[in-house]
Amino acid sequence: MNLNQIHITFNSREDYRILTPILNQIPHKLYYFTAEIKSTGQKDEHLDFFNKNSSFLKEKIPNLIIIQKEVDYTDYIEIIQELSKIIKKEKGTNPNCEFFINIGTGSKITAIASTEAARLWNCKALYVHSTKYDPLTKGARHKGEMIIKYPPIFPAQKPMKKLIKVLKIIDNAIKEQLSLVGDFMSAWRIYKCWCKSDCWDGRVTLLS
């Protein structure tokens, strides 16, 4: 067991596609998300797989801490927020902890959000596929040998300080120009109002 390693996975109609990376690299803690869809009131239809997988892991890895969390599988913002909260909290406790996020299970939205979270927080993403796929089976859809791939994650790069300074100069210049335009327009409106009014001697009316 690696005390610095934490796994994140999303429940689905799968067993070893979820279990294999955890068994291969035994973590200290596992965050196991189950599904809900708030807009329709739906709950996870595969909680039997969550219960079966959790029981299996507790038997094989008694000291593994499993934390179940529920998230809307269709809400990109909520998913990335929940992932960010977990990562920030754990890194605050242990700056050396390393995250592995399984992007092969859950929904397509959880995969997209997880990949983005991995970029933002410099985590490792993993994808599991199998030698046999049977979408019509009543059990787990992926069978046979489980193959783990680690797609490269390109961390989000902070812009260079020089570039930030240049952008600030441009921004200030634009604001100054807009301010001058605003002053000109105000003066122009005053001038037009004055032109439409009678002159001070009351004898001549100027037209704009």
Which of these, 71, 79, 74, 88, lies nearest to 113 by C-alpha position? 79
The answer to whether residues 39 and 139 belong to one domain is yes
Which of these, 18, 91, 29, 93, lies nearest to 65 by C-alpha position? 29
Tokens of residue 197, six digits: 């009014």
47 SS3 class:
helix
The answer to whether residues 131 and 178 belong to one domain is no
Q: How far is CA 43 from CA 38, 58, 70, in A?
A: 8, 24, 9
Query: Containing H/E element for 145?
Result: strand 142-149
For residue 186, what pLDDT is reported? 66
Distance CA 191, CA 132 (A): 80
The answer to whether residues 86 and 162 belong to one domain is no
Q: How far is CA 143 from the centre of its chain?
A: 29
Mean pLDDT of 31-54: 96
The answer to whether residues 91 and 170 belong to one domain is no
Which of these, 100, 103, 102, lies nearest to 87 by C-alpha position? 100
The answer to whether residues 162 and 195 belong to one domain is yes
Q: Which amino acid is at 143?
A: K
Tokens of residue 147, six digits: 């193959």
Query: Last residue of a domain, which of 111, 132, 149?
Result: 149
Q: Which amino acid is at 6?
A: I
Tokens of residue 141, six digits: 């859809």
Locus of tokens 């610095």: 4
pLDDT band at 162 (very low <50, low <70, confident <90, very high): low
The answer to whether residues 122 and 181 belong to one domain is no
Give the number of domains in the chain.
Answer: 2
The answer to whether residues 135 and 176 belong to one domain is no
pLDDT digits (tens, 9 = 90+) for 84-128: 999 999 999 999 999 999 999 999 999 999 999 999 899 999 999
The answer to whether residues 41 and 78 belong to one domain is yes
Query: Last residue of a domain, which of 127, 149, 171?
Result: 149
The answer to whether residues 108 and 69 belong to one domain is yes
pLDDT band at 175 (very low <50, low <70, confident <90, very high): confident
The answer to whether residues 7 and 67 belong to one domain is yes
Query: Last residue of a domain, which of 114, 149, 184?
Result: 149
CATH code of the domain in which 87 resides = 3.40.50.10770
Give the residue numbers spanning the domain of 169.
158-208
40 SS3 class:
coil
Percent of the chain whose predicted confidence (pLDDT) is above 70: 77
Distance CA 71, CA 121 (A): 19
The answer to whether residues 120 and 198 belong to one domain is no
The answer for 180, left when phi > 0, alpha when psi is -120 to 50, beta otherwise, is alpha
The answer to whether residues 11 and 53 belong to one domain is yes
